[in-house]
Amino acid sequence: MTTRPWKHPKTGIYYLRRAVPADLLALIGKREEKISLGTKDPVRAKSLHAHALLELDGRWTNLRAGPKLLSEREAHEMVEPLYAWWIDQHRDEPSQQAFWRIDLGENLWPRRPSGWSLQSNLAATLINEAADPAVGARRDMEEWCTDQADAVLKQRGIVVDQSDRRKLARAVAAVMQRASLALKAAAQGESLDVGQQPIARSTLPLAMAVQPYDTAPITLPPAKLSALVEAWWREAERTGKSVSTREAYAHAFRLLTRFLGHDDAHRVTKQDIVRFKDHRLASRKRNGELVSATTVKNSDLAALKAVFGWAHDNGHVAGNPAVGVTVAKAAKVKLREREFTAEEARTLLRAALHLTPGRELPQTYAAKRWIPWVLAFTGARVGEIAQMRRQDLRREAVAGYPDGVWMLRITPEAGTVKTKQARDVPLHPQLVELGFPAFVQAVRAERLFIVPDAAGRVAGPLQGVKNRLSEFARQYVSDPGVSPNHSWRHRFRTVATEAGIAGNVIDALCGWSARSVGERYGSVSLKARADAIARLPQITL
């Protein structure tokens, strides 16, 4: 704990850190207050630290004072800074303010007539209200105002009863309505009469967020959702994050932006994230199937949590609205093994072998023709093969093989490898007989199965080829219990185990991590790998 700004050892952001007094531990629920100052500048940090310390002392004083009665005047004074802040948010483009609906702002928390709950058609009334979009929007606004009231109370350490909490929420609604009406007039060319100079966000009592974040005296610059992803990536790239992760995260943020209808990171609330989650769970993929809960949880929400979390830690946004949002885990019904059956494998390989060129790109045709066969005999991930370059196949001298062995190198130099480690996989004799090495040598371009975009990037084209391969496989293996590309990886292990290949050799071929400390010692030689691949049986169609 320190009375001076504390510099975070990883991010370089300065914080206020102060031990919570013993008499307030039960009320605050933690032993230390840690508040971001939102800056890496030591000089600015000192000034902000002093301001934050005053606010913290005031909060603790209010907590010690116990419950407080709020008058309407006090409630309006507490939230008045919202007016200038909201004006400042939309001063340049007042017509773009779409969050606060003026048509609903005057009628929040409507009073029910006496005897309302006893009316004969109550059920029908409730059903009609539930179906009315305006009712849902009004409830969202009421919840937002209540959360802002909670943020003000939390920041100041003020304890009130439920009645005064509602009073403060109504004051939030009133000031937002006035500010939004002023913006509407400004959109028609009228001058903005703020009534006071636009205040810095450092003096705001709350952050624009649906959940009551820990607020701090910081200045938050405008932040677009798309810009947050790029800023996150500039740092994440140095830590070894893959390009595919960047693409996946950027895709999730594009979906969020499209769903919200705006690109303002400061306007994203927890309620928005929940609605987005529900929207994604109800969405369908190109093949008509619902987006899986696993995709929403481990891809969409994971991306939002990671980027918003980074943005919060680095002072770009007031909080992480995705925190706590998740998808309930449901037990999957398993009706079959995840690998292709022998007959499914033969059907798909037969289709690939006899495929004739169509109107698609030569690279796409080549992918459909060769990649299923390569996956069947290597256990590789589909992306590892689809991104393959001509120079990634070479002939190696291996003891016991007079003519050498064709060796496929799966390497991060070609693109994305999940483990970020290169590995060598010998070609099975059947792949050689079918002419795969001859095909590779005949290709003039560097990439065998994709065409990089104008900037030389491969991530987008790679995903396109993977999609085409999935669609191709689904024509012949439609069972949703198997993955059209990844099931080759499952089948490879089963076939390799039946052939008597040692588990550590299978792991080395497929790029799986060692399962024990002992297995991390030593390595699997090229000869051991070649011997293992040679033991795999030929596939008879």
Inform me whether the pLDDT recorded for 496 exceeds 60: yes
Inform me whether the pLDDT recorded for 218 exceeds 70: no
pTM: 0.54
Q: Do residues 358 and 488 both lie within one domain?
A: yes
Q: Do residues 393 and 508 both lie within one domain?
A: yes
Coil, helix or strand at residue 284: strand
Q: Over the stretch 2-58, which tens digit does the pLDDT of each residue have? A: 578 888 888 888 888 888 888 777 766 778 888 888 788 888 888 788 777 877 777
Q: Do residues 355 and 437 both lie within one domain?
A: yes
- Find the range with the poorest average confidence among 213-227, 330-344, 452-466: 213-227
Q: Do residues 285 and 371 both lie within one domain?
A: no
The amino acid that residue 301 corresponds to is L
Last residue of a domain, one of 212, 238, 258: 212
The CATH number linked to 389 is 1.10.443.10
Strand intervals (E) in 8-143:
14-19, 32-36
Predicted confidence at residue 126, as pLDDT, reads: 42
Token pair of 352, please? 């690939």
Q: Do residues 483 and 445 both lie within one domain?
A: yes
Token pair of 108, please? 């929040």
HEC string for 358-414: CCCCHHHHHHHHHHHHHHHHHCCCHHHHHCCEHHHEEEEEECCEEEEEEEEEECCCC
Running DSSP on this structure, what letter comes out for residue 439?
H
Question: C-alpha angle 148/151/152, rounded to 5°?
Answer: 90
HEC string for 178-245: HHHHHHHHHHCCCCCCCCCCCCCHHHCCCCCCCCCCCCCCCCCCCCEHHHHHHHHHHHHHHHCCCHHH
Look up the domain containing 3 and give its range. 1-63
The mean pLDDT value of the chain amounts to 82
Inform me whether the pLDDT recorded for 206 exceeds 60: no
Predicted confidence at residue 411, as pLDDT, reads: 93
Predicted confidence at residue 521, as pLDDT, reads: 67
What does the pLDDT average to over 436-440? 96
Sheet-wide strand order for 2-7 = 2-7, 14-19, 32-36
Q: Do residues 98 and 34 both lie within one domain?
A: no
What does the pLDDT average to over 440-466? 90
In contact, 372 and 345? CB cutoff 8 Å: no
Token pair of 207, please? 């952050």
Residue 231 lies in a domain: yes
In contact, 195 and 83? CB cutoff 8 Å: yes
Residue 327 lies in a domain: no
Q: Given the structure tokens 């010998």, which residue do they identify?
A: 426
477 CB neighbour count, 10 Å cutoff: 20
Predicted confidence at residue 256, as pLDDT, reads: 94
Residue 336 lies in a domain: no
Q: Do residues 55 and 93 both lie within one domain?
A: no
Q: Do residues 46 and 95 both lie within one domain?
A: no
Sheet-wide strand order for 423-426 = 393-398, 401-410, 423-426
Q: Do residues 293 and 363 both lie within one domain?
A: no
Residue 120 lies in a domain: no
Inform me whether the pLDDT recorded for 111 exceeds 60: no
Sign of CA dihedral 199, 201, 203, 205: positive
In contact, 246 and 233? CB cutoff 8 Å: yes
- Find the range with the poorest average confidence among 134-138, 169-173, 326-330, 531-535: 134-138
Inform me whether the pLDDT recorded for 204 exceeds 80: no
Total tally of structural domains belonging to the chain: 4
Predicted confidence at residue 336, as pLDDT, reads: 85
Q: Do residues 196 and 55 both lie within one domain?
A: no
Among residues 254, 322, 329, the alpha carbon closest in space to that of 294 is found at 329
Residue 305 lies in a domain: yes
- Residues ≥6 apart with Cβ < 8 Å to 10: none
